[in-house]
Structure 1
């Protein structure tokens, strides 16, 4: 009984001194990858990064201060030492399981074909990055939601009836916007914008168009105009003028456009306003459509910058920990492959980037780095114990291969719930996350061993000659 308890104590000691530091290193690397999300100009992406980081830290502390004590308590106080004889325990230790035998055979094959594996992995990643540079970006918010919902059908029906449900607003401001000169300028803009953009603009409205309706299409001058706007209902007047009459609005109803076309229209409209600008009057194009353009632009652009920033932060973080550039680079090389493979998968599956899938780079770094760091840590632990590189990677895959498989499968199971969503944006995000987790598992088990064998010659291990 005392022998069994001593073994449990030794297991606890080895776990705390060997495994916890390795997991902490993986935690730091993963957290540094998520920091890239904080650089996004969109608050929802920043919050996504914060929640990922918080979840990461909470999981680590629960594992160290809750899971390990539970396992220790189970084995120390409740283990059944009479269950197996000493001979049976020795036999079990000597006889490898079928999974261990499979991992051992598989590792030997990956080492034997290491140069072919690296060449194929690099070629596929390079091609994936190349095609991903011209990947489609889905910017129409309406395509993100279930297409058979009644609310979306109602919007389409309303659009068919009135011609438009989208609009931009031109805000003009000055000291005296009800002067005769400004009124004529506003009236001219209201009439000519539709003529300038006939394929986009459906209708335009301003305070002058409302007053003209009251005067059979005629625009009164000066004092007569001011008197008539005073007689307008307050709820109607405040749609086009503020109370102090220093700001006015021209509303422009437009066709429903893809974000790229809408962005082009807003740019052209800005140029048109500059050509017809008036002294002492400042104009600004605003409205929900303009905000949508900026939001989608912020969400979907710069995905490679975020990915490269994340990888750079991980590299420098690992460099500070290991004090060796090759050891800091090794865990990132499989991640670089996964980034390319992910782009290749999206290309062949014809999946466009959305505000959610644009964050996949950070997720790839987070999930993949955890696996690769743990494998590398165990590999160099075996090397320090005197094993040669080939033996060390075989022992590594046998010892933690099953744990990585279990971790990947549980993560896949969690994200699989997104596939049941009716929202296209969530479904695509779930689908690509499952693919990337599978790539991370494949890269760790298949590509990581050849990388370690090839680059091991550049890493000096203490006690190994």
Structure 2
């Protein structure tokens, strides 16, 4: 027969697998659905970020299930004291007493807690809508790097280091009428956009230099004498495509996008019949990339909320139980946006992913609290006692998990890259909000909505911890 120590170890193992593993599986499933929202970004970098986060949580679950639980069982089964008692964990009683005190206070003022959460989150969402977006990629890197200083110095000398290109194509781009259009476009761009365009060059620029400042009446004779390497900068070998290079001042992505729109409109209005034009270049690609990274944050957040809700609805088959874990997370999204607006922190391509990220992290905490709450309700405990037990027992684990996340992301704070340090700071703040919302707001929500969730109660029994 098994001795008491063996029986207790096996009982603990069975209880953990039976009660905790399904709750954790539900939590990481919701977390993964939150991260899947990152896949909707048109930028491969963000998609890959979402994939790695999803892979990470799956690996963590299996490591916990097949490595951590067996290690803990082995410790309890073979390495406990002879009397079968484990060493007392220092500080456990103090932490639980503190959590119990907080929970009782929250329940006493549950409507005040919910009201304050709603008001502050609402104000935060308003602030988030009005929060600026940092789109100048040069501000993301260390400002004292030699490479950045060299770019600034070169910009002072040349007037520009950025450019866009106007590509045009026709059956023969060196026909006189197309050359006249090319010359007019090249000469008028700086006059049309004096605050942005620094210079512009095309095939007619070379022709003028070779012909005393005028486009020759017979350009073919001049072109035939030009070096091929010089000619191919503006016209392809088949002479069916040409390009006008436009040097521009350094602009943030928002202003650059506006200029590109004006330029496309101007070129389109002055386009010759039979001529196809396109505004392109690295600057155009850069502005599209940064815009895609930053403007889709609200869509990713909403998609994340929707996916998590549908996933929990499929698991619980109860709309309210699917919505309860998400409500505290919606508060966090508002609080985070409010903090960024209040302290003038602009969104970057990384912080734009915080909505989906916090949905994934935060729902794990709230689901664990809710699962334990309804577990105690099924045992026959009243809602007050059930939430106190849940917050005391799971709250400590949630704090430990949250502090480990905070510790990991704290490393980003020392990065020389502003984009990384800001992302680390806002992630730490959001995890802190997740802890605050889980321990303080979630109990109030569970108590208020408890009457609408029917629980099949069993006989009241003491929970073995």
Shorter chain as normaliser: what TM range?
over 0.9
Q: What is the match of residue 141 of structure 1?
A: 137
Give the distance between the partners of 2:406 and 2:222, measured in 1 at CA. 66
The reply to whether residue 176 of structure 1 matches residue 172 of structure 2 is yes
Alignment counterpart, residue 432 of structure 2, candidates 418, 422, 438: 438
Corresponding position of 2:191: 195
Q: What is the count of residue pairs matched by the alignment?
A: 457
Q: Deviations over 1:395-440 (max 9, x none)?
A: 0111111111110001000000000001111111000000000000
Q: Distance in 2 between matches of 1:401 and 1:260?
A: 44
Number of the residue aligned with 1:241:
235
How far apart are the structure 1 equivalents of 2:60 and 2:229? 54
Shift of 1:71: 1.2
Whole-Å separation in 2 of the counterparts to 1:436 and 1:187:
56
What is the CA-CA distance between 1:264 and the residue it aligns to?
1.3
- What's the counterpart of residue 213 of structure 2? 217
Q: Match of 1:407? A: 401
Residue of structure 1 in register with 2:113 after alignment: 117
User: What's the counterpart of residue 313 of structure 1?
Assistant: 307
The TM-score normalised by the length of structure 1 is: 0.96
Residue in 1 that maps onto 2:97: 101
Match of 2:293 among 291, 295, 299: 299
**Superposition map of 1:450-465 within 5 A:** 450-463=444-457
SS at match of 2:102: helix
Deviation at 1:238, TM superposition (A): 1.8
Contact conserved, 2:127 with 2:342, CA < 8 A, in 1? no
State the match for 2:462 in structure 1: none
User: Is the partner of 2:437 in helix, strand or coil?
Assistant: helix
Measured after TM superposition, the shift of residue 106 of structure 1 is 1.2
What is the aligned counterpart of 2:322 among 291, 311, 328? 328
Unpaired stretches in structure 2, ≥5 consecutive residues: 460-465
Could you tell me how far apart the structure 2 residues matched to 1:463 and 1:98 are? Answer: 31
- Distance (whole Å) between structure 2 residues aligned to residue 41 and residue 231 of structure 1: 47
1:256 aligned onto 2:257: no
Report the TM-score, using the length of structure 2 for normalisation.
0.96
1:131 is aligned to 127
Counterpart-to-counterpart distance in 2, 1:96 and 1:286: 63
Q: Give secondary structure in 2 for the equivalent of 1:171.
A: strand
Cα drift, residue 80 of structure 1: 2.2
Distance 2:452 2:287 in 1: 49
| Residue 282 of structure 1, aligned match among 273, 276, 281 | 276
Q: Distance in 1 between matches of 2:436 and 2:225?
A: 73
User: Which residue, 152, 161, 167 being the options, matches 1:165?
Assistant: 161
Considering only aligned residues, what root-mean-square deviation do their CA atoms show, in Å? 1.7
Per the alignment, residue 428 of structure 1 pairs with 422
1:18 is aligned to 19
Q: Following TM superposition, by how much is the alpha carbon of 1:82 offset from its aligned partner in structure 2, in angstroms?
A: 3.8
